[in-house]
């Protein structure tokens, strides 16, 4: 029987590639989006056309009620969520001294409270079944810090703390919690930095290029699979050697 996965922020970029990879691996996938309704719908149509089970659901991960509704809808249409990928995220560049409270609060709400909301929404079923898997998408900036991206780096470091703590707490219940820390990946988030920064990041990456969303998706698919059955509480860095 197909098992059900929820990928947050799956309309574009890394989340979209993760949803597609998991569907190919046999997961029924709930494609969460915030604003990109058409893109999410197009992905779902594409997956269904290939005989794969998928649905789209609009929800702001920062909104606990919306996340609860999404998890209920996914359970009703695809089956209870057994794999959660906390991918939805936003970034912000600027000097820390200029960072306003609203921006700080929104970064924490989406990048950190969002995963909290989603984990708490899927946990009752996972705990009752004594099985389940969570993969959080952090960042290399969460590992080493990021100049002019302090709030973002704080949230991504927090996700690593969440991963390691939940892994310990949930291991006795048969639930694995891991994390992927991507380096610089070719998505809208990096394209927004401009062509010069994009080129500089590619040059700074020992492999000499930005990563592709599909390469991050492969790491997630591995951690979600039975091949990783004895792996929990880990941070898998996929960064072309950036912080090697
Ligand atoms: P992206 O291209 O900007 O896409 C972000 C995705 O998140 C979109 O699908 C967006 O949905 C969704 N999203 C944003 N806010 C949301 C919210 N409040 N609720 C639900 N969905 C929301 O970003 P990306 O580069 O693919 O990044 C994906 C994840 O990887 C993020 O957590 C990011 O921090 C992390 N990451 C990225 C890189 C990189 O180099 N790209 C490196 C390290 C880590 P809509 O379009 O529907 O609004």
DSSP string, the chain: --EEEEESS-SSHHHHHHHHHHHHTTEEEEEEESS-HHHHHHHHHHHHHTT--EEEEE--TT-HHHHHHHHHHHHHHH-SEEEEEE-------S-GGG--HHHHHHHHIIIIIHHHHHHHHHHHHHHHHT-EEEEEE--HHHHH--TT-HHHHHHHHHHHHHHHHHHHHHGGGTEEEEEEEE-SBSSHHHHTT-HHHHHHHHHHSTTSSPBPHHHHHHHHHHHHSGGGTT--S-EEEESTTTT-
Q: Is the CB of 61 under 6 A from ligand 1?
A: yes
Asked whether 134 lines ligand 1 (CB < 6 A), one says no
pLDDT tens track for 74-93: 999 999 999 999 999 999 99
Global pTM value:
0.98
Cα(131)–Cα(171) distance, integer angstroms: 9
CA of 95 to the centre of ligand 1 (A): 21
Dump pLDDT digits (tens) for 137-158.
999 999 999 999 999 999 999 9
**pLDDT per residue over 19-71, tens digit each?**
999 999 999 999 999 999 999 999 999 999 999 999 999 999 999 999 999 99
At 186 the pLDDT is 97
**Which distant-in-sequence residues (6+ apart) come within 8 Å of 47 by Cβ?**
19, 20, 23, 29, 53, 54
87 in contact with ligand 1, CB cutoff 6 A: yes
pLDDT value of residue 174: 98
| 116-125 residue pLDDT tens | 999 999 999 9
Pocket mutation for ligand 1, best pick of 6, 7, 9, 236 (most atoms within 8 Å of C-beta): 9
CB atoms within 10 A of CB 52: 20
Distant-in-sequence, close-in-space partners of 79: CB < 8 Å, separation ≥ 6? 1, 2, 3, 4, 28
Residue 7 backbone phi and psi in degrees, to 5: -115, 115
Of 152, 158, 185, 223, the active-site residue reads: 152
Q: What is the rounded distance in angstroms from the CA atom of residue 244 to the CA atom of residue 240?
A: 9
* Ligand 1 pocket, residue 135 CB under 6 Å: no
Mean residue pLDDT of the chain comes to 97
Nearest one of 56, 34, 26, 192 to 114, comparing CA atoms: 34
Q: Is 33 among the residues known to form the active site?
A: no
**Residue 1: band (very low, low, confident or very high) from pLDDT cuts 50, 70, 90:** low
């Amino acid at each position: 029987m197909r098992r059900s996965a929820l990928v947050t922020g799956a309309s574009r970029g890394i989340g979209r590639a993760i949803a597609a990879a998991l569907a190919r691996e046999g997961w029924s996938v709930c494609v969460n989006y915030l604003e990109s309704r058409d893109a999410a719908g197009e992905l779902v149509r594409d997956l269904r056309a290939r005989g794969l089970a998928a649905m789209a659901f609009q929800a702001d991960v920062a909104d606990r009620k919306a996340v609860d509704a999404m998890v209920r809808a996914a359970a009703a249409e695809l089956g209870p969520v057994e794999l959660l990928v906390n991918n939805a995220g936003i970034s912000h560049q600027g000097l820390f001294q200029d960072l306003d409270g609203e921006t700080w609060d929104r970064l924490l709400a989406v990048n950190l409270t969002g995963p909290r909301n989603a984990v708490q929404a899927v946990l009752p079923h996972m705990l009752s079944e004594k099985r389940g898997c969570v993969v959080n998408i952090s960042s290399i900036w969460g590992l080493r810090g990021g100049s002019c991206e302090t709030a973002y780096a704080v949230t991504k470091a927090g996700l690593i703390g969440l991963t390691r703590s939940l892994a310990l707490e949930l291991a006795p219940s048969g639930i694995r919690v891991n994390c992927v820390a991507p380096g610089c990946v070719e998505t809208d988030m990096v394209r927004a930095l401009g062509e010069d920064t994009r080129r500089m990041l590619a040059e700074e990456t020992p492999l000499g290029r930005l990563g592709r969303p599909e390469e991050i998706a492969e790491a997630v698919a591995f951690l979600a699979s039975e091949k990783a059955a004895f792996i929990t509480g880990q941070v898998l860095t996929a960064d072309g050697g950036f912080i090697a």
